[in-house]
Amino acid sequence: MFARNCWYVAAWSHLLPAGTVIGRQILDEPIALYRTESGALVAMEDRCPHRLAPLSLGCVQGEQLQCRYHGLTFDMAGRCIGVPGAEKIPPGTNARTFPVAECDGWIWVWLGAPGAANEALIPRGFDLADRRFTMRYGEISYAADYQLVNDNLCDLSHLDFLHKTTLGGATAGGWSDQPPRVTPLERGVHIERWLKDRPVNPGGTDLTDIWSCYDFSAPGILVMRTTFYPRGAAERCGLAAPPDDLAPLLRRVDQQAVTPTGKKSCTYLFAAGFEGMTPSPVAMERMYKIVMDAFAEDRTMIEAQQRIWDLTPASRRNAFLPSDKAPHLFRKMLARLINQELKVSS
């Protein structure tokens, strides 16, 4: 089951310049995203109502999209406005459109009730085009239920084990020493923790305290700051959130989205980098390699987990650890959103 009354990340904004069209799949729904010649953004079902040819293989003509198979042309509202060889537009030739928005470098699509598509529900993140941030981006496909990826991102204790030589190693571990503070949100969870006496650079002797803080919002959006402070900052802050006037040594930023494409498949879009500084190309490449290596480890584990999950009776209860609080609360919140939609539709 999916929560449909949510904004789902479909693509990176800069990958869809004016006059182009691309195909995406969200919640088992094929979607054609196109940007008109004037720059307007449209999300339309990726099926021509004639013979179901993918409209994402079509071409943008001014403000319209034309099917490449038999030339039917659609306006931005999905209305068919031209059929070659027909004096009148035949009935049943319109294509469904979806609310679409752009925010923080991403294109968002709403597949639920159109009247409920409130852009205020879009979780705010960072933007590749914002000069305050120096970031690298990527995209990975998973053959797994999107909720398994959400679980992974809500519980970073696995960094000590699955990512021992990558992300975990870069911070000298300690993510599993004690559960983080988890605060429920209306449409997500807030997760924060201190990591004390960590090396500034992997294998180095200069130590720092690290403040890790992120929101994980419906349907699966992570916006995270990892801030490095002089050693002793955690104790001076009483292990609480650092004040705004406490100067950091370095601030990492991460922006990630889990978009289900089907019942057991999803796309993972991510960007990672730094705020308020421009690192050297060598430093950026080193950071990005660590991130990509870690995400490859995640995909191998989660796709293997899905295979075991499929072989396990639904009645079997899983063990519950203290670090499972955030994944549990997030799944519970998503189930609430889904149940609310089901009540409205029944």
- Which is higher by pLDDT, 343 or 98? 98
* Contact in structure between 135 and 125 (CB atoms under 8 Å): no
Q: Is residue 339 assigned to a domain?
A: no
Can you give the pLDDT at residue 202? 64
User: What CATH number has the domain bearing residue 211?
Assistant: 3.90.380.10
Give the SS3 label for residue 167: helix
Q: Give the pTM.
A: 0.94
**In this model, does residue 104 exceed pLDDT 70?**
yes
**What pLDDT shows up at residue 134?**
93
Report the CATH number that the domain containing residue 103 is assigned in CATH: 2.102.10.10
pLDDT digits (tens, 9 = 90+) for 292-327: 999 999 999 999 999 999 999 989 999 999 999 999
Query: Quick one: 239 and 289 in the same domain?
Result: yes
Radius of gyration from C-alpha coordinates of the chain: 22
Number of domains in the chain: 2
What percent of the chain has pLDDT above 70? 98
Cβ count near 304 (within 10 Å): 11
**Domain for residue 45, yes or no?**
yes
Average pLDDT, the chain: 94
What tokens were used for 297?
């480890």
Give yes or no: residues 109 and 152 share one domain.
Answer: no
In a domain, 158, yes or no: yes
**101 within some domain:** yes
Phi, psi (deg, nearest 5) at residue 107: -100, 125
- Domain range holding 282? 133-334
Q: What is the pLDDT of residue 168?
A: 83
Q: Of 66, 100, 121, which marks where a domain is finished?
A: 121
- 96 and 166 in a single domain? The answer is no
Shared domain check, 211 and 97: no
Same domain, 147 and 279: yes
Average pLDDT estimate for 336-346: 88
10 Å CB burial of residue 206 (0-12, 13-18, 19+) is exposed
Q: What is the pLDDT of residues 198-219, one digit of tens each?
A: 877 666 678 899 999 999 999 9
Same domain? For 193 and 235 the reply is yes
- Do 227 and 90 share a domain, yes or no? no
